[in-house]
Amino acid sequence: MTFRVGRIVYVAISADETTMGFAFPKEERAALIAAEPDKFRMPRPSDERYNWVRVRLAAIDVAEMSELVVDAWRMVVPKRVAAAYLAETAGPG
């Protein structure tokens, strides 16, 4: 299962539903994986050139999955769309 904006995939769930790949800045990828190597993994070698990381779904809860998906989505939508979403979800205050 994949989620896209136009032609850009920002989340992909493996066929066996054990792993989720998601858009993530390449510059920050090594630090994320080093911090939690049992949870996060490098993308497959063929995908290393992309802004992409994989996570074991059994290692995250719904809240963390939601955060990863929204952050990945924000990477691929226009900045104004992401800003409008953030303003709407921030609520009053």
Q: Which domain holds residue 61?
A: 2-90
pLDDT score for 92: 62
Produce one character per residue of 50-87: b if its CB has 16 or more CB atoms within 10 Å, e if not.
Answer: ebbbbbeeeebeeeeeeebbeebbbebbeeeebeeeee
Q: What is residue 89's predicted lDDT score, i.e. its pLDDT? A: 80
Into how many domains does the chain fold? 1
- pLDDT tens string, the chain, 93 residues long: the values are 999 999 999 999 999 999 999 999 999 999 999 999 999 999 999 989 999 999 999 999 999 999 999 999 999 999 999 999 888 887 665
Model confidence, pTM: 0.86
